[in-house]
Amino acid sequence: MKVFVNRRIPETGIHMLKEAGLEVFIPEHENLSHEEWLIYCQNHDAILSVGGEFRYDKDFFDQCPSIKTIALYSVGFDHVDIKEANRRHIPVGNTPDVLSKATSDVAFLLMQSVARRASYNFQKVKDGNWGDFDPMHALGQELYGKTLGILGLGRIGFEMAKKSLAAFDMNIIYHNRHQNEEAEKELKATYVSFEELIEQSDVLSIHANFTPEQKDLFHGPVFEKMKDNAIFINTARGGFQNEKDLYEALISKKIWGAGLDVTHPEPMSKESPLLELSNVCVLPHIGSATMEARTGMAKMAAENIIAFSKGDKIPYCANPEVYSENS
């Protein structure tokens, strides 16, 4: 079986694929045009897909009929048309859990960085603009005993809540499709409606899976209902926020600050007005950027493809319904 890996990943994953007797191809340059990417896909049986710039939709599957499985190097799979993959009996793998701690670390980092205006003050030092002591300049806020609201209390959200409770004794509220009994028992988390979440949170952190229906979920009217001391954190997908409305909410002091590891589009333009604000911290989608997490992701993606090549069910499947008799 021929496997196309569109970008370099930790060597552990590539070694596993080759040890399993699979033919692996990695292009010499990684910034592929859509046309180049499509040609490579058309000549392979499986894709180990790194990044989310290309969509796996009906048009893709029509043009690449040789593709039998896709192993995503990510937890999120919003760039894959799962219904279309199911219709064609194509299992799609992802890499859940292995990056939960690393991604929650970044959410926790952003929360603190925004609360203390860390990136703004670091830039002042770099610019030689330390200045004299001013007891009222660019003050931050403390997080002790505040309310952390989580949209999507799954594995990553659980780790974020756990850290916040341990470090700052924060009160945890959350909104999910389903209640999380483990979090309610271990973290004393309280399930609330979406309206209650946005109205009660001092820090609101997004950890949900993104769907097209949730595009711009956080827009003007939602920011209007949030606390004026609220910090908005997003390490999930940039599509959740309307960034024009977020900027307006920040400069009009409807909310207090924002920390983003994901933007829309990505990469964010260096001209974005959000980058000029002292109460904003933006990172370039580094949630899983640790050696441990990225190596774990490589192993899981390789395991998915190897299992498929042996005729087995892939172990980390984003669309397990593909194996049902009616799919």
> Catalytic residues, which ones?
237, 266, 285
User: What are the strands of the beta sheet with 257-260, ordered from one edge?
Assistant: 190-191, 171-175, 147-151, 203-206, 231-234, 257-260, 280-282
The secondary structure of 237-288 as a DSSP string is: -GGGB-HHHHHHHHHTTSS-EEEES--SSSSPPTT-GGGG-TTEEE--S-TT
Supply φ then ψ for residue 316, to 5 degrees: -120, 85
What type of residue is 81? D
Helix (H, G, I), strand (E, B) or coil at 304: helix
The letter for the amino acid at 260 is L
Q: Is 307 helix (H, G, I), strand (E, B) or coil?
A: helix
The C-alpha atoms of residue 109 and residue 128 are separated, in whole angstroms, by 25
Helix or strand holding residue 2 (H, E) = strand 2-5
Cβ neighbours of residue 283 under 8 Å, at least 6 residues apart? 106, 110, 259, 260, 261
| SS3 of the chain: helix, strand, coil, percent, to 5 | 40, 15, 45
Give the CB-side neighbour count of residue 273, counting CA atoms within 13 A.
Answer: 9
Q: In this structure, how many other beta carbons lie within 10 angstroms of the beta carbon of residue 5?
A: 26
Of the candidates 180, 186, 184, 181, which has an alpha carbon nearest to the alpha carbon of residue 153? 180
